[in-house]
Amino acid sequence: MELIKELPEVFEEFAEQRQKAFLDIKKLKDAGIPIVGVFCTYFPQEIAMAMGAATVSLCSTSDETIPAAEKDLPKNLCPLIKSSYGFASTQKCPFFYFSDLVVGETTCDGKKKMYEYLKQFKDVFTMELPNRQTEEGLRLWKKEIVRFKEYLEEKFDVTITEEQVRNAVHIQNEGRKALKRLYETMKLDPAPITGMELFKVLYGSTFKVDRSVIPGEVNEIVDKIEKEYAEGKMQERKPRILVTGCPIGGATEKVIKAIEDNGGIVVTYENCSGAKSIDKLVDEDTDDIYEAIAKRYLNIGCSIMTPNPNRLELLGRLIDEYQVDGVVEMILQACHTYNVETLGIRRFVNEEKGKPYISVETDYSQGDIGQLNTRIAAFIEML
Q: Residue 131, CB half-sphere, CA atoms under 13 Å: how many?
A: 9
Percent with pLDDT over 70 in the chain: 99
Q: What is the pLDDT of residues 240-264, one digit of tens each?
A: 999 999 999 999 999 999 999 999 9
Residue 169 has a pLDDT of 98
Q: List phi, psi (to 5°) of 301.
A: -90, 80
Rounded Cα distance between 111 and 297, Å, is: 18
Q: How far is Cα 245 from Cα 330, in angstroms, rounded to an integer?
A: 5
Q: What is the pLDDT of residues 53-95, one digit of tens each?
A: 999 999 899 999 999 999 999 999 999 999 999 999 999 999 9
**pLDDT bucket at 50, cuts 50 / 70 / 90:** very high
What type of residue is 319? I
Q: Give 309's contacts (C-beta < 8 A, 6+ positions apart).
A: 301
Is residue 268 within 8 A of residue 274, CB to CB? The reply is: yes
Return the exposure string of 31-53: e unless at least 16 CB atoms fall within 10 Å of the residue's CB, then b. eeebbbbbbbbbbbbbbbbbbeb
Q: How distant, in Å, are the alpha carbons of 180, 295, 302, 347 from that of 247? A: 18, 22, 11, 21
Q: Residue 249 in contact with residue 363, Cβ under 8 Å?
A: no
The residues, ordered by sequence, that sit 6+ positions from 182 with a Cβ below 8 Å of its Cβ are 198, 201, 202, 218, 221, 222, 225
> What confidence category does residue 5 fall into, taking pLDDT thresholds of 50, 70 and 90?
low
Give this prediction's pTM.
0.95
Residue 13: which pLDDT band, with cuts at 50, 70 and 90?
A: confident
Write down the H helix ranges in the chain.
7-15, 17-30, 45-50, 66-69, 79-90, 94-98, 109-118, 135-156, 162-183, 195-205, 214-230, 253-261, 289-298, 309-321, 336-347, 369-382
Q: Is the pLDDT of residue 118 over 80?
A: yes
Angle formed by the axes of helices 253-261 and 369-382, nearest 10°: 50
User: Considering the chain, what is the average pLDDT of its residues?
Assistant: 95
Half-sphere exposure of 237 (CA within 13 A, CB side): 3
- pLDDT for 273 equals 85
User: pLDDT band at 3, cuts 50/70/90?
Assistant: very low
Q: What confidence category does residue 18 fall into, taking pLDDT thresholds of 50, 70 and 90?
A: confident
Residue with the bigger pLDDT between 20 and 213: it is: 213
Q: Can you give the pLDDT at residue 7? A: 76
Q: Reply yes or no on whether the pLDDT at 1 is more than 80.
A: no
CA distance 187 to 206: 23
Residue 2 is predicted with a pLDDT of 37
Instruction: Write down the pLDDT at residue 19.
Output: 81
Q: How far apart are CA 41 and CA 275, in angstroms?
A: 11
What's the mean pLDDT in 300-312? 98
Cβ neighbours around 367 below 10 Å, total: 9
Return the closest-CA partner of residue 376 out of 359, 351, 354, 352: 359
